[in-house]
């Protein structure tokens, strides 16, 4: 097994005349938590989309574990994404008509596999939602809804959990608990987490913060503190 859950090699993504990502190379080791930060328009979403196969680089390569995403058909990439990456979004993206259990099991059903009740119980326990499987999302707090989304991300045993502003819709206390949960998934279960955030406090939960500016890598900060992250963002022109 390769050391990296995901690796980008000289990835460039242009949209017409705009170079959203400019020769970006980066590797994310298994069992690590990385935050991606940068001013608005610096290329964070493009980076995440290229790293997870949602978008294709104009040039350069992306590996998901051992798998080179270049030259894969759209169908193959969709299956890889579904089976090997867990996504967590700011807006949770749960289906209101389904129970918590059915939301969590959705990726399993979409893959045509039989849901395993033991696995369901395990991931609900991992996110602290034991006993809430029959609730609907509307009957949960924001923090609990995000836990459902994290359980859904975990259920397929992904190589990578990709979180886009996972605490953006939460009050600071619930957000803090979600970040502690992501941290614990890395420390206790060896998960790999890649998180885009605007919040230096959130970024400080990561092992390393990677900075983007104008589509280029603009350094990284190991063992970040919120103050040092905020300082670095100010130097990149973020108010």
User: In 10 A of CB 75, how many CB atoms?
Assistant: 8
Q: Note whether 46 binds ligand ATP by CB under 6 A.
A: yes
Q: Note whether 41 binds ligand ATP by CB under 6 A.
A: yes
Which pair of structure tokens corresponds to residue 159?
A: 């190589």
Q: Note whether 128 binds ligand ATP by CB under 6 A.
A: no
The residue behind tokens 């058909």 is: 73
Nearer to ligand ATP, 127 or 193 (CB): 193
Q: Burial level of 12, CB count in 10 A (0-12/13-18/19+)?
A: middle
- Count of positions on this chain that bind ligand ATP (CB under 6 A): 11
CB 35 within 8 A of CB 195: yes
CA distances from 218 to 60, 105, 224, 233 (A): 18, 39, 15, 10
CA 44, distance to chain mean position in Å, is 12
Residue of the chain from 6, 11, 20, 80 that contacts ligand ATP (CB under 6 A): 20
Nearer to ligand ATP, 144 or 197 (CB): 197
In the stretch 49-68, what mask flags binding to ligand ATP with x, by CB under 6 A?
--------------------
In the complex, the smallest distance separating the C-beta of residue 207 from ligand ATP, rounded to whole angstroms, is: 21
How many secondary structure helices (H) and strands (E) does the chain include? 8, 10
Residue of the chain from 2, 12, 23, 45 that contacts ligand ATP (CB under 6 A): 45
Classified as helix, coil or strand, 179 is: helix
**Closest by Cα among 40, 199, 34 to 51:** 34
C-alpha–C-alpha distance, residues 196 and 57, integer Å: 19
Q: Burial level of 13, CB count in 10 A (0-12/13-18/19+)?
A: buried
Nearer to ligand ATP, 133 or 215 (CB): 215
In the complex, the smallest distance separating the C-beta of residue 174 from ligand ATP, rounded to whole angstroms, is: 22
In the complex, the smallest distance separating the C-beta of residue 141 from ligand ATP, rounded to whole angstroms, is: 26
Q: Which stretch binds ligand ATP (CB under 6 A): 39-47, 73-81, 117-125, 150-158?
A: 39-47
Nearer to ligand ATP, 12 or 45 (CB): 45
Nearer to ligand ATP, 147 or 232 (CB): 232
In the complex, the smallest distance separating the C-beta of residue 41 from ligand ATP, rounded to whole angstroms, is: 4
Per CB under 6 A, residues contacting ligand ATP are 15, 18, 20, 38, 40-46
């Amino acid at each position: 097994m390769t050391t990296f859950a995901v690796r980008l090699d000289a990835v460039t993504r242009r949209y017409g005349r705009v170079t959203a990502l400019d020769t970006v190379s980066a590797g994310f080791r298994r069992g690590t938590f990385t935050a991606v930060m940068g001013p608005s328009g610096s290329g964070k979403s493009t980076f995440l989309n290229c790293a997870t196969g949602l978008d294709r680089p104009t040039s350069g390569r992306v590996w998901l574990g051992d798998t080179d995403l270049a030259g894969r058909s759209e169908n193959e990439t969709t299956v890889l994404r579904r089976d090997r990456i867990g996504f967590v979004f700011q807006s949770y993206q749960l289906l209101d008509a389904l129970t918590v259990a059915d939301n969590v099991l959705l990726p399993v059903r979409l893959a045509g596999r039989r849901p395993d009740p033991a696995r369901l119980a395990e991931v609900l326990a991992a996110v602290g939602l034991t006993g809430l499987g029959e609730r609907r999302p509307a009957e949960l707090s924001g923090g609990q809804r995000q836990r459902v989304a994290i359980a859904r991300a975990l259920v397929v045993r992904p190589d990578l959990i990709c979180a886009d502003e996972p605490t953006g819709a939460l009050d600071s206390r619930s957000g803090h608990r979600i970040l502690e949960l992501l941290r614990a998934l890395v420390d206790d279960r060896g998960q790999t987490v890649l998180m885009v955030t605007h919040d230096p406090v959130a970024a400080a939960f990561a092992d390393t913060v990677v900075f983007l500016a104008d589509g280029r890598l603009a350094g990284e900060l190991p063992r970040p503190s919120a103050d040092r992250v905020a300082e670095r963002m100010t130097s990149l022109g973020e108010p």
